Chains A and B, each alone.
Chain A
Amino acid sequence: MDFLGERVALLVRGNLDLSTGSELETILAAVARNGHHRVVLDLAECDFIDAAGFRVITTAAENLDRLGGELTIRSPSGVVRRLLDLVGPAVVYLFGPPEVATGPLGGLEPVHADGVAVRTAPGGSPSPQHSPVTVAAHNDVVDAALRLVVALACATVEGADGVSVSLRRQALLSTVAASDQTIREMDAGQYATGEGPCVDASIQGQSSHSGSLDTETRWPTFTPIARALGINAILSSPLLANDRPVGALNIYSRTVEAFATKSQHLASVFSAEASTILSEVWLDPVDNEISDRFGAALATRQVIALAQGVTMERDRLDENDAYTALRRFSANSGRPLRERAEDIVASVRWPAPEVSTGTEHRDG
């Protein structure tokens, strides 16, 4: 799954047949219900489509068309493309119209040169293609993407009665998407008590699962709140931005032991998807390598500026000449300019307690 501006792209892997077709149908319906009516179905890794699979594509294309949207098929294999070409519905775009969306997350990849447009876009003229960029997208775009992840998880994870996404923003956890009000209250209960699977997953970066809150002992303050809201099982999967935990995908159920192995696997797939989205856009200005390096550079710069000032005063030099003097000393001694500057700053002794002006301070 991917978000290309206002479009949602779904990648289909393996065979699209009766069983996987119904999964795709559920997902496509959830996507449309979430207000995303322009959908790209990427078939680059789809090996085979049977009649049931075609029917899902056809139905989705017609539904999206009715809603004023469109379904675009990207990168089908030769066989699949010929089949779509022959029997595909008229409302399916193959390879996409020329004026692909270029939203904040970047545009579509260049369309294949051998693509066959079943229906051309109205008045479309080619525009420059943009490659995906890794700048911070507007929070709204990210939130819309995460809402979709919530809707998809809710529709496809067996046993799920509600789903939410919590994110750490300005150092506090908050819910950016939730399937309903009870689920928001479940999240809020964990933020307020500072405990619960969502808090654990967000901080530790590891999945936290409670099959039955009846016997749960890890979160004594939060568990009664959850049970009062009718929840009996919780599965929280960590969301990682560039391998650092930044939040959690929380799946709640009223049923004890609702989440079997398959559901847990699906939860990890969805949390990985959400993590990919977040890694694209997450900018954490605190506590990373760049800010450490920049902080060190600023500290050095300040010491050099101080030493420059001391040298100007002591040796009656202008700004540039004072700098040149420091730099020459460094070059001649083979020692970094920073060390020379630190020596000069350290050599300054104030005649405490009275500060007299015009006193000559000379090191040596």
Chain B
Amino acid sequence: MAEKTTDVLDRARRSAGLSHGELWLRYFELGGMSTALQLEAFLYGALEPTVHDHDVVAHALNERFVELGGNHPIPYLEDRPHGENQDAQ
């Protein structure tokens, strides 16, 4: 099985140079509804985010990567081919 999606997020957070607090602020800015503590729990794998929440975090990270001159490297769960995201909803 592939790496857990939340592991991908936390690894990306580190390589984007964002603290948990800064990532939460960016996530909140983009409309995220979870608390900073819940977000941290997502990143540590202690809580499972909804597909929507995951994608808001992913987008916050992707916008950061664009700021750093990169692309959108984090995949969105919503955009996966049908059949793959049954378990994540």
Q: Which residues of A does B touch, CB under 8 Å?
A: 293-294, 296-298, 300-301, 304-305, 308, 320, 323-324, 327-328, 330-331, 334, 336-338
- Which one, A301, A304, A323, contacts B52 given CB within 8 A? A323
Contacts of A308 in B (CB 8 A): 31
Are A337 and B30 in contact (CB-based, < 8 A)?
A: yes
Give the CA-CA distance A29 to B59 in the complex, in Å.
Answer: 62
- Most chain A Cβ neighbours within 10 Å, of B31, B55, B71, B76: B31
Q: Which residues of B contact A334 (CB under 8 A)?
A: 66, 71-72
Q: Can you spell out 13 A-B residue pairs with CB atoms less than 8 angstroms apart? A: A297-B28, A298-B29, A301-B28, A301-B30, A320-B52, A323-B52, A327-B56, A327-B76, A330-B59, A334-B66, A336-B63, A337-B63, A338-B29
**At the interface, yes or no: B3 with Cβ under 8 Å from chain A?**
no
For A297, list chain B residues within 8 Å (CB).
Answer: 25-26, 28-29
Known contacts A297-B29, A304-B31; is-contact A327 B55 (Cβ 8 Å): yes
User: Does any Cβ of A come within 8 Å of B6's Cβ?
Assistant: no
Point out the residues of chain A lying under 8 angstroms from B56, CB to CB. Answer: 323, 327
Q: How far is the CA of A28 from the CA of B28 in the complex (A)?
A: 52
Chain B residues with CB under 8 A of A330: 59, 63
Do the beta carbons of B29 and A331 come within 8 Å of each other? Answer: no
A334 to B26, CA, bound (A): 17
Known: A304-B30, A337-B30. A327 touches B25 (CB 8 A): no
Q: Tell me the complex Cα distance, A305–B71, Å.
A: 25
Q: Using an 8 Å CB-CB cutoff, how does the interface string of B66-77 with A read, 1 for contact, 0 for none?
A: 100001100010
Q: Which chain A residue shows the least CB distance to B55? A: A327
> Which listed residue, A296, A304, A324, A336, touches B78 by the CB 8 Å rule?
A324
Task: List the B side residues contacting A301 at CB < 8 Å.
Answer: 28-31
Is B79 among interface residues, defined by CB-CB distance under 8 A?
yes
Q: A297-B28, A337-B63 are in contact. List 13 more A-B contacts (CB 8 A).
A: A294-B25, A298-B29, A300-B29, A300-B30, A301-B28, A301-B30, A304-B31, A323-B31, A323-B56, A324-B55, A330-B59, A337-B30, A337-B59
For the complex of A and B, 10 pairs with smallest distance between CB atoms: A297-B29, A300-B29, A331-B72, A304-B31, A320-B52, A324-B78, A327-B59, A297-B25, A336-B63, A301-B29
Return chain A residues, CB-CB under 8 Å to B71.
334
How far apart sit A336 and B79, CA to CA, in the bound complex (Å)?
18
Q: A305 to B79, Cβ gap below 8 A? A: no
Contact of B76 among A294, A331, A336 (CB under 8 A): A331
A297 to B56, CA, bound (A): 14
What separation, in Å, do the CA atoms of A337 and B29 have in the docked complex? 10
CA distance A328 to B52 in the complex (A): 13
Given contacts A294-B25, A323-B52, contact A331 B59 (CB under 8 A): yes
Contact B31 A328 (CB under 8 A): no
Name B49-89 residues within 8 Å CB distance of A: 52, 55-56, 59, 62-63, 66, 71-72, 76, 78-79
Residue of A nearest to B71 (CB): A334
B25 CB to nearest A CB, Å: 5
Q: Are the C-beta atoms of B31 and A331 separated by less than 8 Å? A: no
Residues of B within 8 A of A338 (CB): 29
Q: B residues within 8 A CB of A300?
A: 29-30
Residues B21-42 near A (CB distance < 8 A)? 25-26, 28-31
Residues of chain B within 8 A of A320, CB atoms compared: 52
CB pair B25–A331 under 8 Å, yes or no, is: no
Q: A298 to chain B: which residues have CB within 8 Å?
A: 29
Query: Smallest CB–CB gap between A149 and chain B, Å?
Result: 34
- The residue of chain B having its C-beta at the shortest distance from the C-beta of A305 within the complex is B31
Most chain B CB within 10 A, of A294, A308, A336, is at A336
- A331 and B30 form a contact (CB under 8 A): no
B63 to chain A, nearest CB (A): 6
The CA of A320 and the CA of B31, in the complex, are separated in Å by: 11
Q: Can you name the residue of chain B whose Cβ is closest to the Cβ of A293?
A: B25
- Are A331 and B62 interface neighbours, CB within 8 A? yes
Contacts of B66 in A (CB 8 A): 334, 336
Q: A308 CA to B25 CA in the complex, in Å?
A: 19
Q: Could you tell me the distance in whole angstroms from the C-beta of A284 to the nearest C-beta in chain B?
A: 19
User: In the assembly, what is the distance between CA of A302 and CA of B11, in Å?
Assistant: 29
